[in-house]
Amino acid sequence: MSFTDLLNTIQDYRQEIEDSHTITELINDAFSDWLSTKGISRVVLLDSGKLLLNINGRLKSPTRRVGGIHLHTRFILINLDESEDVLEALEEALTHYISEGDGAYVWVIPDGFMASLTEAELEREKGGSGYFSHESICISNTADIDTRCQLEVLYEDVSKENVTCEFDVSAHRSVHYRLDKLKDENGDPLIAKDAPVSYKLTSLGTRIVVQGSRILTSGEGSEFASFGTVMAWCPQQRR
């Protein structure tokens, strides 16, 4: 797959189909997965014969033209009648944009629950040994910019007050948080044990990808009883 394939396919469609909207839908159906690897979220064929490439990011320099390509804050505009001149310039044009990464800004993990440790487990934990029941969240930031994230803990029990905390995730980095290790301003556990909760994670700077995990232990020596990994639910699904 290449930009040559993309532009040639568009020209083939134009010879057979007059409706630019139909061509736009067909091209995105055929190339959307590949386009996403280039940081392009969608392409639109305009009635003027120009091709608009919507960028998953924003322009990072004052450059407004590369070869026959016009660069705008969040999109690139190509005159298809000049396609022979812009093919080699497309890759360079994309380097002038800051990527806003993969995923979404808001993620929700509806099912959360951290079991209390037994007295024996607590003793072993104090001694620095053992691996016990806990939950964790993993956040990947594939963008070119850092972001600050807010974790909201939503209790089922209305007598409990919901809690929040914030943390940073650097560009092209990941973080992994043991939720049982999070502390409040007094140094106490941030999240209550044996309490059904949901987690909402909001990224303030860029898109992220979130995963939740749970380990439940039981038996002699806290043998693993179960291990669960679940992708969070993303209410901001992107086409």
Domain ranges of the chain: 3-99, 106-231
Could you tell me which residues are beta bridge partners of residue 136? 178, 213
Does residue 82 register a pLDDT over 80? no
Give the integer Cα–Cα distance in Å for 48 and 79. Answer: 9
pLDDT at residue 193, rounded to an integer: 86
27: confidence class by pLDDT, cuts 50, 70, 90: very high
What's the pLDDT tens digit per position in 151-203?
Answer: 999 999 999 999 999 999 999 999 998 888 888 888 888 889 889 999 999 99
Query: pTM of the full predicted structure?
Result: 0.79
Give the integer Cα–Cα distance in Å for 45 and 20. Answer: 6
Does residue 225 register a pLDDT over 60? no
pLDDT at residue 226, rounded to an integer: 56
| Superfamily of chain region 106-231 | TM1070-like (2.60.290.11)
**More confident of the two residues 64 and 28:** 28
Secondary structure (3-state) at 193: coil
130: confidence class by pLDDT, cuts 50, 70, 90: low
218: confidence class by pLDDT, cuts 50, 70, 90: low
Exposure string for 166-201, b = 16+ CB within 10 A, e = fewer: eeebebeeeeebebbebeeeeeeebbeeeeebbbbb
The number of angstroms, rounded, from the C-alpha of 193 to the middle of its chain's C-alpha atoms is: 29
Where would I find the beta strands (DSSP E) of the chain? 40-45, 50-55, 57-59, 65-66, 69-71, 75-79, 97-99, 106-112, 134-141, 147-155, 163-169, 173-178, 197-203, 209-218, 223-231
Instruction: Please tell me what DSSP assigns to residue 188.
Output: S
* Gyration radius of the chain over CA positions: 24
pLDDT at residue 5, rounded to an integer: 92
Could you tell me which residues are beta bridge partners of residue 95? none
Contact in structure between 98 and 144 (CB atoms under 8 Å): yes
Averaging pLDDT over each range in 26-35, 105-114, 221-230, which range is the top one? 26-35
pLDDT at residue 217, rounded to an integer: 62
End-to-end Cα separation, the chain, in angstroms: 20
Does residue 223 register a pLDDT over 60? no
Percent of the chain with pLDDT over 70: 87
For the chain, the average pLDDT equals 86
> How many CB atoms lie under 10 A from the CB of residue 44?
18
